[in-house]
Amino acid sequence: MNDVPVTLKQFFLFHGEEPLSRESWLSLDEGEQVTRLRQNLKKEAKGLNWTRVLGEITQKIDDLLDISLESILVGAWNKYRDLLKYCDPVKYPGNETVLVHLVEHTITSEHHPYLAVLVNDLEVGKIDFTINLALTVKGAILKIRGGKILEILPGECKGKGTVACEKCIIFKEETKSFKVPYSIKLGEGIPILP
DSSP output for the chain: --SS--BHHHHTT--SSS-S-HHHHHHHHTSHHHHHHHHHHHHHSTT--HHHHHHHHHHHHHHHT--BHHHHHHHHHTT-GGGGGGG-TTTS-TT--EEEEPPSEEEEEEE--EEEEEETTEEEEEEE-EEEEEEEEES-EEEEETTEEEEEE--EEEEEEEEEETTEEEEEEEPPPEE--S-EEEEEEEEPP-
Tell me, yes or no, whether 108 lies in a domain: yes
Tell me, yes or no, whether 1 lies in a domain: no
Name the pTM for this structure. 0.80
Total domains in the chain come to: 1
Tell me, yes or no, whether 61 lies in a domain: yes
Tell me, yes or no, whether 141 lies in a domain: yes
pLDDT tens track for 117-169: 888 888 998 999 999 999 998 988 999 999 999 998 878 888 899 999 888 88
pLDDT tens track for 166-192: 888 888 888 888 777 678 888 898 888
Domain hosting residue 90, numbered range: 8-191
Tell me, yes or no, whether 142 lies in a domain: yes
